Chains A and B, each alone.
Chain A
Amino acid sequence: MVMADGQVLKDLLLQIRDTLIKTPQDLEVFLEGESIRPGIIVLINDTDWELEGEEMYELQNRDLITFTSTLHGG
């Protein structure tokens, strides 16, 4: 996904919401309000986003952001 300079992870979440997610049901699985739904693990370049400032993490070129849900399956 192409992002403008100086944006943070929160901007990415909103951009995903606005460009990739097509149905309200899908959105509900991903976001709660404007934040990531509790139970989704976010990794920034394979590191727990809780160590990287979460939503305020400043995106850099070629960052790999992974979202994994713990809510389903077993």
Chain B
Amino acid sequence: MSTARVPRAKILCELCHDRKAIMKRPKNLQKICKECFYHVFETEIHNTIIDANLFQRGEKVAIGASGGKDSTVLASVLKTLNERYDYGLELVLLSIDEGIVGYRDDSLATVKRNQKQYDMHLEIVSYKDLFKWSMDEIVACAGVRSSCTYCGVMRRQALDRGATKLGISHVVTGHNADDMAETVLMNLLRGDTGRLEKSVNILTESSGSPVKRSKPFKYTYQKEIVLYAHYKKLDYFSTECTYAPEAFRGTARVLLKNLEAVRPSCIIDIIRSGEQLKLRPKKQRMRVSAVAQEVEVKRDGSVSLKPESSNTCERCGYLSNNRICQACFLLEGLEKNRAKVLIEGGNTAIAGAAKITRELEALSF
């Protein structure tokens, strides 16, 4: 360019009034500089942790690490906060190998680099080892449409087992405010009030699992996580899983992003609304489940109606008050289906998967 352009006036940071603002916070539209961003980002997560009394001193905590931006930022920030505020936590990385070629093998390489960068122990549990099925095999048999249904059930159990193996009873995940608002929207649109109430909890414990889950990023915007990873030059992996995400979640996500474009605070507003929703205690449901005791499977994936009696899955030995656990239930259907495919050589896979999805919905895990 021949003529020198007059540079735009710099916008000063609204917090320190000193440095150049580099971003606008979606939460409150504040324009802030990089240093102030790091500070408010980390401090808000610290406050969330303290307000929810999330950790106990000396606790061993596993970070569910996928190599993606959310869990990479989570590992980085928890390490920083653990040192800065002396939480006294022992942090380890826990990764799931779903067995998705071209996706998970690359992202696991990222997690292995993170292990060195953050100096944490890394434990990898694979679906293939636990269930004798990799996601690629499941998709080949059941079709791509219900991949996330299988994957979600198996992941929950795989995380539990990985944590238990390490003697850990607390797994933190990188779910952020956008994810949570998206889930609230989804449950709202489906009229799934039971899930709706639970979906905004920062900490979840269930009778069917010895491991509690928490979401320190509950109030953290996706945009800020991405910017934090970008400015801090964190090493993360950003390729999408080759199997399409659940269709309805995708729809809710687009809806949320469109809402956010008009009104950025809507993400936190949706979470706050979700927190205010409390269901009337359901007397009727108790009666129904008492009758249907043998087949009742609760929403949290547990099948415990009598918390004092705890059995194990007869196939895999995992905690379950049903004859078989949720993962084995799914895989059993798949094995029957695989046999059918082999015999008929036809295209029954998709129909079989759809049927299993319907059965699952009827069971309302």
Contact surface of A with B, Cβ cutoff 8 Å:
5, 37-39, 41, 43, 46-48, 50-53, 58, 60-61, 66, 68, 70-74
Contacts and interface: CB of A to CB of B under 8 A. Distances in A.
Shortest 4 CB-CB distances between A and B: which pairs?
A39-B257, A38-B261, A48-B23, A38-B257
Given A46-B22, A48-B22, A60-B1, A74 B174 contact: yes
A38 B258 contact: yes
Interface residues of B, number: 35
A70 B224 CA distance: 10
Contacts, number: 66
Contacts of A66: 230
Nearest to A40: B257
Interface centre among A51, A66, A73 (most CB of B within 10 A): A73
B253 A71 contact: yes
A74 B179 contact: yes
B347 interface: no
A73 B253 CA distance: 12
B283 interface: no
A38 B120 CA distance: 36
A27 to B, nearest CB: 15
Contacts of B71: 74
B181 to A, nearest CB: 13
B5 A41 contact: no
Contacts of B22: 46-48, 51
A48 B222 contact: no
B331 interface: no
B5 A58 contact: yes
15 contacts: A46-B22, A47-B22, A48-B22, A48-B23, A48-B227, A51-B22, A51-B24, A53-B8, A66-B230, A70-B257, A71-B254, A73-B237, A73-B239, A74-B68, A74-B174
